[in-house]
A = this chain, B = another copy of it.
């Protein structure tokens, strides 16, 4: 990887995480040497972004097994399992709404079941290998996505992106921002506008920082500036991520995504969403069925702890919106680029 930082790294029985609470003003690594450290890191958002949380949790489950390992031989596998599952549950509860957290813990527990009865040293070694694999697999998926997606980016393109979909949101490299970074390797003349992405400012705090670290020419804008750039022909394409994709290609993503898609539709600008196939919810016919999480009013009334709105003001703060597939030019996955009709293209990916 050409990243000059890493989101997470495991070495010498220590998991190091870049501390996303203090970026971009401070670059600091938070170290975890046990499951409690991992639980804290996930709960307190030292680490964020679904794939990054998943990989972090996998190492948490490794720590969990290691911490109970003396029980496995001194008392019994049953005693071990009681402690092991209890600690995993504790990890799971750190952020119950993060899909990848449960997914990674379950994957580690399933591996344990196939190893049951073996020497504890072998079990620990296999669990650590799986945590490493989950991490590397995510990076590999992102690199494949980058390779397919970068083919869509014309030479010297000016690209608009939204929220953070980079190395920080994943185990490394990134989804939509990974595509941009891959394109930049071949063509240093691309230019990126990054939406600041209110209310949580992931664009200002994280994407701007990643763009600078990658040496990509770029500018930060308030979210409502994008509309005039799109109208005035200053944007060649929009590329962003996805939190959940329906079987018909409707894309649920960070609030503000729909606005960009509508402007792109109106002014004939290509609009792409990049995500791993695991983001597709094959059971959902359309995006209309996706419940939109409403988050705390303080995300809007306070910025970095400073109050910016009057006490008691009502707030409507949806975290996501749904972009209809009619506004999407193509979907970028690690299996290739999907074009309309999306329902057929997506059905072909069904496991």
Q: Give chain A's interface residues, CB within 8 Å of chain B.
A: 24-25, 193, 196, 198-199, 201, 204-205, 208-209, 211-212, 218-228, 231, 255-256, 258-259, 262-263, 266, 300-301, 303-318, 321
Contacts and interface: CB of A to CB of B under 8 A. Distances in A.
B304 A303 contact: yes
A301 B204 contact: yes
A215 B311 CA distance: 14
Contacts of A306: 303-306
Top 10 A-B residue pairs of the complex, sorted by shortest distance between their CB atoms: A224-B256, A227-B259, A24-B310, A198-B222, A204-B309, A219-B314, A209-B310, A304-B306, A303-B303, A219-B316
Contacts of A258: 227-228, 231
A297 to B, nearest CB: 8
Nearest to A305: B306
Contacts of A262: 227, 231, 262-263, 266
A223 B220 contact: no
* Interface secondary structure of A, over-half rule: mixed
Contacts of A317: 221-222, 225
9 contacts: A198-B223, A204-B308, A209-B310, A212-B312, A218-B313, A227-B262, A303-B304, A303-B306, A304-B308
A207 B119 CA distance: 67
A72 to B, nearest CB: 47
A300 B195 CA distance: 11
Contacts of A314: 218-220
A300 B196 contact: yes
A313 B217 CA distance: 10
B255 A208 contact: no
Given A262-B227, A266-B262, A222 B255 contact: yes
A132 B176 CA distance: 58
